[in-house]
Amino acid sequence: MKGKSQNSLLAGLRYAMGVNMDRRKRLIEFIDTKGDIYKKIAVDIHEHPEVSNYEFYACKCLSEQLTQEGFEVKTDVAGHRTGFLAVYRSDKPGPVLVFLAEYDALEGLGHGCGHNLFGATSLLAAAALKEVIQEAGGEIRVYGTPGEEGGENGSAKGSFVREGYFKDVDAALCVHPGANTHKLTGKSLGCAPVDIEFWGRAAHAAGTPEKGINALDAVIQVYNSINALRQHLSSDVRIHGIITNGGDAPNIVPEYAKAKFYLRAATAPKLEEVYQKVEHIVEGAALATGAKGRMQPYQNRVENTIPTPSFDTVYEKNLKLFGEIITPHEKNGPLGSTDVGNVSQVIPVIQPHIAITDVPVPGHSEEMKAAACSEKGLSSVLLGAKVLSFTALDLIENEELLSKIKAEHKKCLEEQI
């Protein structure tokens, strides 16, 4: 805890009307008592990095820990073999709240995004809340969502949304490891990851070139046409890609070629518009070269994130209780994509960033990977769990607050362009 003892924290809570101090004291005591267990889980997952659809070790670690905590746990859910669902129901009516857990690593790097901390933090928050849920009321769930970084069967939150796992959920919570600052939930770009493939006809490039249909020519036309398209796109659109297969030998006309692209945009309608433009480019390249072309998604589409400011305000209030402050988002700062956006399209969700370093380091880097197993990084598991569990308890105890958040979320959905 930074700058505040437990006693001063609880003294501060006395000024908050309607706050049950005993419950919050129990949350803190549980997290402080069990914190080392969850730190060890974070270290263990860090030492066993797994990419999308292969997070078997992490799924086992996390799901078994939830079972030990008294949750009903089911693995292999929503079409994801490394996904899980954990549920604890109280005997009193109340809201259904979900803690989101991520635990996939980056291919070739490991946990350079800190997801080893992400999953452990959500689990500890949920397990702590279970200690008071019988008297507070409601239901706690943890959704283990693989492949946030993309990859094979990636972006699992899209599947959880599509399969109806959020239909009866009131709100969702999680916190993402960040560099040296705490930040609230920000907007993100929607992203459609696509494969673009062409099939032509092989021929000897010197002896009988007239008999060949060059699939690589078609891919190159697509690549160049997308470059030309960029000058006619708004600033909230990003398109980037690579050629993954361009043929086998220089003296053989390539009969197959393939590229992968990310199509990104700030809103769902804009992303669909861009998708259709690129589809037309693929169709045009097929007509021009005589090759057969196809463009299709290779994983779930990631939707743009819609923040709910009043929800983040609750999180910020609780973060301040622990002596920490939020750093404002940079105006026109960099935007990426996250499948938390898919959740934000159907219910209120927060995904603030929690500091795991004392100095700025780039994301998806060796420095961030080291931070994800550092003393400060591991301490963030306890801080994040405390703030998330306090925030969830606020929603359970204050029906009016939860209703306000849900109404604001609905309005934000309606106002997106």
Tens of pLDDT, residue by residue over 68-124, are 999 999 999 999 999 999 999 999 999 999 999 999 999 999 999 999 999 999 999
Give the residues across from 4 on adjacent strands: none
Residue 149 CA to residue 262 CA, distance in Å, equals 13
DSSP secondary structure string for all residues of 57-124: HHHHHHHHHHHHTT-EEEEEETTEEEEEEEEEE-SS---EEEEEE----BTTTBSTT-HHHHHHHHHH
pLDDT at 417: 54
The residue among 299, 197, 204, 174 whose CA lies nearest residue 243 is 197
Handedness of CA 277, 417, 342, 331 (dihedral sign): positive
Q: What is the CATH number of domain 190-297?
A: 3.30.70.360
Cβ(219)–Cβ(194) below 8 Å: no
- What confidence score (pLDDT) does residue 7 get? 61
The answer to whether residue 150 scores a pLDDT higher than 90 is: yes
Measured CA to CA in angstroms, residue 137 lies from 89, 93, 132 at distances of 8, 5, 8
Tokens representing 37? 């267990």
* Predicted pLDDT of residue 12: 59
pLDDT at 14: 54
Residue 51 near residue 106, CB atoms below 8 Å: yes
Write out the DSSP string of 247-286.
Answer: -S-TTB--SEEEEEEEEEESSHHHHHHHHHHHHHHHHHHH
**How much is the average pLDDT of 156-173?**
98
Predicted confidence (pLDDT) at residue 53 exceeds the cutoff of 80: yes
CA distance to 27, 75, 299, 341, per residue, from 417 (Å): 40, 37, 25, 15
In the predicted model, is pLDDT for residue 6 greater than 70? no
Fold identical between 16-188+303-415 and 190-297? no
Give the model's pLDDT for residue 10.
Answer: 60
pLDDT band for position 329 (cuts 50, 70, 90): confident
pLDDT mean over 286-291:
98
Task: Indicate the length of the chain as a whole number.
Answer: 417
DSSP state for residue 294 in the 8-state scheme: E
User: Cα angle at 351 between 346 and 352, to 5 degrees?
Assistant: 150
* Domain 16-188+303-415, CATH homologous superfamily name and number: Zn peptidases (3.40.630.10)
For residue 335, name the pLDDT band (cuts at 50, 70, 90).
confident
Tokens read off for 322: 């622990």
Taking residues 139-161, what's their average pLDDT? 97
393 three-class SS: helix
Q: What is the mean pLDDT of the chain?
A: 95
Q: Burial code of 229-242, b = ≥16 C-beta within 10 A, e = fewer?
A: beeebeebbbbebe
Tokens at residue 16, please?
Answer: 């908050």
The token duo for 414 is 């309606």
Residue 398 token pair: 């204050």
- The angle that helices 115-136 and 21-47 make with each other, rounded to 10 degrees, is 150
Query: What is the average per-residue pLDDT within 318-333?
Result: 87
Q: How confident is the model at residue 1 (pLDDT cuts 50, 70, 90)?
A: very low
In terms of DSSP bridges, do strands 238-245 and 256-265 run parallel, antiparallel, or are they unpaired? antiparallel
From the list 124, 118, 116, the residue with the least C-alpha distance to 47 is: 116
Query: Is residue 5 very low, low, confident or very high in pLDDT (cuts 50, 70, 90)?
Result: low
pLDDT digits 0-9 by tens, 263-288: 999 999 999 999 999 999 999 999 99
Indicate the pLDDT class of residue 3, thresholds 50, 70 and 90: very low
Q: What's the distance, CA 227 to chain centroid?
A: 29
Task: State how far the Cα of 5 lies from the Cα of 254, in Å rounded to an integer.
Answer: 68
How much is the pLDDT for 148? Answer: 97
Mean pLDDT in residue range 326-343 = 85
pLDDT recorded at residue 165: 98
State the chain's maximal CA–CA distance in angstroms.
87
- Give 20's pLDDT tier (boundaries 50, 70, 90): confident
What ranges do the domains of the chain cover?
Answer: 16-188+303-415, 190-297
